[in-house]
Amino acid sequence: MLNSLIERFGLQVQSVRDVENSHSSTVYKCTLLNGDIVFLKIPYTKLKWQRELEAYEFLKGRVAIPEMLDYWSGDDVCPGAFLLSELKGKPLTTDVSPTVAFQVGVLQATMHTVSPPVGKLLTGIQNEFPNWSHFIEKQFYSFAEDVITVVDEHLYRKAIEKFEEMKQQLPPHDGPSFVHMDFRPANIIIDGDQVSGMIDFESVRFGSTEIDFTKLNRDFLSFNPAFYEAFQEGYKSIRPLIDLETVLPFYSFIDAFNSIGWSKRRGIEKNAIFLEENLAKLKTLVM
């Protein structure tokens, strides 16, 4: 498949390597003979391919993202592929200054200013905002079918009870906005002390902004109070910020729960560490 895509896109390749931290799609970093770097991305499903294609259309010129150089709509074997430019830098880590956290806030808030297009039929990116509570509940109980096969009955029952209790305490939803659904450090690229942009739009929706803070808080903001404060300042320089203290506990809980279900679906053995991490979090949050 890789060689056929290289040929299809007419690439003169010097070297190719797999990109780490790509949990769903298959991504290759290609160094061309002229020294340029491009990325070949094969989404996990056709729907994810369609979401990604539409996301590049909506976000181009509005939010810092790679340039889509070319794409292929796929066939019976492959769901499709993209040829993407390089965002200079590397994925976000906690080894940065609060200045970077401020820029991450600006980046996310800018994305959240993107609203559903008027008069355009959406074929990949669904507008879930009108029924946001149902969307969250549907996702939760879908993953519950997998979670129940992994965790003990007592923990499962307590988790269900906690979900039903906590969902009643959420404030009014904020949107409709373009939400990434996987806004985490691996998908945020920085170059020194500058944020270059964001990547990976396979899971995007139009929905409530509240869902987009969970993974960023889990993997970045919670490591340093200065990050948390600077991020909020950056975000609020673009648009109002919801009450994170109210929504984060709920979404952190369902993130742990759903991640257990995701690990079961994608294979317990290869996702064993991720599964155990989220199982430990769930026990802490529920028991």
Question: What average pLDDT does this structure show over 38-54?
Answer: 92
User: In the chain, pLDDT over 90 holds for what percent of residues?
Assistant: 77
Instruction: Look at residue 21 in the predicted model and tell me its pLDDT.
Output: 66
Tell me the average pLDDT of the chain.
92
Average confidence (pLDDT) over 170-191: 94
Token look-up 């109002």 returns 240
Half-sphere exposure of 34 (CA within 13 A, CB side): 4
90-126 residue pLDDT tens: 999 999 999 999 999 999 999 999 999 887 778 899 9
Are 47 and 35 in contact by the 8 Å Cβ rule? The answer is no
Taking 70 as the threshold, does the pLDDT of residue 72 lie above it? yes
Cβ–Cβ under 8 Å, residues 52 and 82: yes
- Which of 241, 245, 236 is closest to 217 using CA atoms? 245
pLDDT at position 122: 80
**Does the pLDDT value for residue 1 go beyond 90?**
no
Q: According to the model, what pLDDT value does residue 76 have?
A: 82
DSSP per residue, the chain: -HHHHHHHTT--EEEEEEPTT-SSSEEEEEEETTS-EEEEEE-SSHHHHHHHHHHHHHHTTTS----EEEEE---SS---EEEEEPPSSEE--SSS-HHHHHHHHHHHHHHHT--PPTT---SSS-B-GGGHHHHHHHHHHHHHHHHTTTS-HHHHHHHHHHHHHHGGG------SEEE-S--SGGGEEEETTEEEEE---TT-EEE-GGGGGHHHHHHTGGG-HHHHHHHHHHHHTTS----HHHHHHHHHHHHHHHHHHHHHHH-TTTTHHHHHHHHHHHHHHH-
Which pair of structure tokens corresponds to residue 108? 């996310």
Q: Is the pLDDT of residue 204 over 70?
A: yes
pLDDT, mean of residues 41-61: 92
* Residue closest to 258 by CA, chosen among 125, 154, 137, 134: 137
Q: What is the pLDDT of residue 7?
A: 84
